[in-house]
Structure 1
Amino acid sequence: MNEANNHVFDTTTGEEQHLSKRNGSSNGTSKNGVANKIPSISEIKAAIPNHCFKSTIKQSMYYVFKDIILIIALYCFGHWVLQCNSIILKTALSPVYWFLQGTLLFAVFVLGHDCNHGSFSSYALLNDCLGTVLHSFVMTPYYPWKISHRHHHNNTGNMDKDEIFYPIRKKDNNKNSFALFFGLGFGWLAYLWRGFGPRQMNHWIPRHAIFAKHVVGCILSIGVVGIWVGILGYYVQLMGMVSLVYHYMIPVFICGCYIVMVTFLHHSDINLPWYSDDNWDSVKGKLSSVDRDYGIFHDVIHTIGTHQVHHLFPIIPHYNLREATTHFRKAFPQLVHINDKSIFPAFTEMFFKYSSQCIVENDAKIHYYK
């Protein structure tokens, strides 16, 4: 990579930065993080090797089995912790167990998300069947969420049509204050029941217009979740409610916290633009996301934080995102958004910026958080 192409728009500072030295420089990006010239999706795709777009069942299933084995191993560890006689040990180790198990449940959710996009395999039936099982395991109706999530991908960065955590126009503001940190895991459950903001959507009773052509898939997915609830009821008969709460309900809550935090941080950052519908196009919208690093858990949760290229090409399997991103950054450094700030401080900072700046004028054409 030559010196002229070594710059990205670093959303941590809101300035053009050198990839390795962090030197300030101007490289075709306006001061608000909007590139002066946007290439076509075909031009961007040409910069990424063809093999990055290909998934294999063998490799994808490897991650499914790996996560399942880790979840079972952690369950055994948690069972030992729950049964141990030492209150001190139980108090110290239980939060660790819950966090790690919740992290793995989120990893399972991400694999279901890959099925959603068809990046798990080239077989649609396998993707939908496995995705239904994986998402039901974390109490998510696969097909309704598949449709709403694709709606998000089709309208990313569009403040008038996007799905979640979008700026809200004054005319649509219902003056309800946001729960602290969006309610984290409770916020995820609320989203499945009500949607977000003024654009309401119930994933459990899919009467919304975007579900109209997918009623059968939605009903089947909800039915599978119902079967899973029945299995959990049988588990309660065998092991007791305390065991269910300890081993499942708390980790699922942690998984929901991940979903809220990760989704919000994908599309909320300083100088990351949101567009009005008449000022939006697909490529600009897809580029209006930010890559973040989740440290030692980045690979555990299947590189979901490597997000710009995922939005550009959701067909790329998670295990090829890093390589595809390397080529994208080399070819189009002026389009790159990266924030390396630690996740919890970044989430806290952006939540309060969002809470205070998310209400926009009715005629706003572009919005970014200062």
Structure 2
Amino acid sequence: MSSRRRNEVKSREELAFESVPQDVPSLVDIKRKLPSKFFQPNLILSFYYVVKDFVIVGLLYASVLLVEHYAPSAWLKLGYLPIYWYVQGTMFWALFVLGHDCGHGSFSKSTLLNDIVGNLLHSLILVPYYPWKVSHQHHHKNTGNIDRDEIFYPVRESEKRKEFLPLFGFGLSWFFYLFVGYSPRPSKHLNPYDPLFARNFLNCSISLALCTAWVSLGLVPYAYTFGLVKLTVHYLVPIFFFASWLVVTTFLHHQDELVPWYADPKWNFVKGQLSSVDRHYGWAHTLVHNIGTHQIHHLFSKIPHYYLEEATVIFRKEYPHLVRKSDEPILSAFYKMFHIFNEQHKIKNDTEVHVYKGDTKSK
């Protein structure tokens, strides 16, 4: 190895360890700073957001029907479709986030009610609720852990990882993930016998059955009645936009320059959760239930989405040295971090702390 290359490696190692947060309080200490009401779901408020989202979804669907029937020109009809796809896909993403709250138990105090509502919300957007719930809980238990996290983790050179689609194919990678998982530690969300899901075989099977029922009793009859083109235009393309939201957001929650990833012996729960990144999603931020407010969500996943912003204000005031946030525009951040991630996610077997760095030649 050349002298210059040794210096570059050393520089990156030093940078990685400098990125590790210092003076990290315990989870209990952080929780003491937050009002107790933040940990108490408000059932009326939770259902209000469900109803509101379904009303918006219904109005958007009605709008595309009205445009199809009454728009004076074909160009106007075609021009409206991308708007409909984008906004309806965003609303499907909002429904997903409400189901995500159910999976964390922050929708209500009842596990049964959470699972009923979560199954309903997720099945309607073709997400197997319980398998996703299990894998997502695994992610939360191991966030920022190179050796145990669930997706978008750095891969050691002894492990094999296939090349990525350009920009993950946006929503395409979500469906790929459901079918085959994320290597080299894949979990197949459509297989209730998968080792990650086997303990919850019944619940996972129920969620898969509900998705199958929605396809068989909802989508197939819709295609039979109105045609496959209408099903695609009204539902499947917005589903792709939703899946793209999911991929972009999930990736950016935990990927940014100088955000540390830890080898298992160097990792602990609080440091791992602090490797989450807060981002603001502009016009859609509140509409999709503040999911970009991610550090406090990872520290305390029981906090309902409608308290995340307030809790974050307190956290940032009390622990300014622990805040990780980015104001970079979302799509440019995704484009930048995808290419950095694609070039740097393969790491040495003995790496203890890993960070991504935009200019790999800087010292």
TM-score by length of 1: 0.90
Match of 1:366 in 2: 353
The amino acid that maps onto 1:327 is: I
Aligned-residue offset at 1:210: 2.2
Matches of residues 199-210 of structure 1 in structure 2 within 5 Å?
Answer: 199-210=185-196
Q: CA RMSD in A?
A: 1.3
The amino acid that maps onto 1:134 is: L
Instruction: Report SS of the residue matched to 2:325.
Output: strand
Aligned-residue offset at 1:207: 2.4
- Does residue 239 of the first structure (1) align with residue 223 of the second (2)? no
Aligned-residue offset at 1:197: 2.2
Alpha-carbon contact 1:115-1:131 (below 8 Å) kept: yes
Deviations 1:89-137 (Å, cap 9, x if unpaired)?
1221110010000000000000000000000000110100110010001
- Which of 55, 60, 64 aligns to 1:69? It is 55
- Does residue 108 of the first structure (1) align with residue 120 of the second (2)? no
Structure 1 runs of 4+ with >6 Å offset: none
Matches of residues 1-370 of structure 1 in structure 2 within 5 Å?
Answer: 32-83=18-69, 84=71, 86-174=73-161, 176-230=162-216, 231-370=218-357
Q: CA separation in 1, counterparts of 2:209 and 2:77?
A: 37
Aligned-residue offset at 1:85: 5.1
Q: CA separation in 2, counterparts of 1:237 and 1:57?
A: 38
Deviations 1:311-343 (Å, cap 9, x if unpaired)?
000000000000011111111111100100110
Aligned-residue offset at 1:34: 1.9
- Quickly say closer, same or farther: Cα 1:33–1:82, change in 2 above 3 A: farther
Identity %: 46
Instruction: Report SS of the residue matched to 1:171.
Output: coil
Instruction: Report SS of the residue matched to 2:164.
Output: coil
Alpha-carbon contact 1:116-1:127 (below 8 Å) kept: yes
Deviations 1:47-67 (Å, cap 9, x if unpaired)?
111111111110000000000
Q: CA separation in 2, counterparts of 1:259 and 1:267?
A: 13
Aligned-residue offset at 1:354: 0.2
Q: CA separation in 1, counterparts of 2:68 and 2:326?
A: 39
Alpha-carbon contact 2:16-2:354 (below 8 Å) kept: no
The amino acid that maps onto 2:130 is: Y
Deviations 1:268-304 (Å, cap 9, x if unpaired)?
0010000001110111101111000001110011000
Alpha-carbon contact 2:17-2:353 (below 8 Å) kept: no
Instruction: Report SS of the residue matched to 1:138.
Output: coil
Aligned-residue offset at 1:345: 0.4
Aligned-residue offset at 1:353: 0.4
Give aligned pairs, total.
341
Aligned-residue offset at 1:173: 2.4
The amino acid that maps onto 2:20 is: V
Aligned-residue offset at 1:235: 1.3
Deviations 1:220-256 (Å, cap 9, x if unpaired)?
0000001100111111222221111011000000000
The amino acid that maps onto 2:343 is: S
TM-score by length of 2: 0.92
Q: CA separation in 2, counterparts of 1:182 and 1:275?
A: 24
Alpha-carbon contact 2:101-2:107 (below 8 Å) kept: yes
Q: CA separation in 2, counterparts of 1:293 and 1:358?
A: 25
Instruction: Report SS of the residue matched to 2:301.
Output: coil
Alpha-carbon contact 1:81-1:94 (below 8 Å) kept: no
Q: CA separation in 1, counterparts of 2:221 and 2:194?
A: 33
Aligned-residue offset at 1:194: 1.1
Aligned-residue offset at 1:31: 7.5
Aligned-residue offset at 1:35: 1.4
The amino acid that maps onto 1:348 is: Y
Instruction: Report SS of the residue matched to 1:209.
Output: coil
Alpha-carbon contact 1:110-1:301 (below 8 Å) kept: yes
Instruction: Report SS of the residue matched to 2:75.
Output: helix
Between stretches 209-218 and 61-70, larger displacement belongs to: 209-218
Aligned-residue offset at 1:196: 1.0
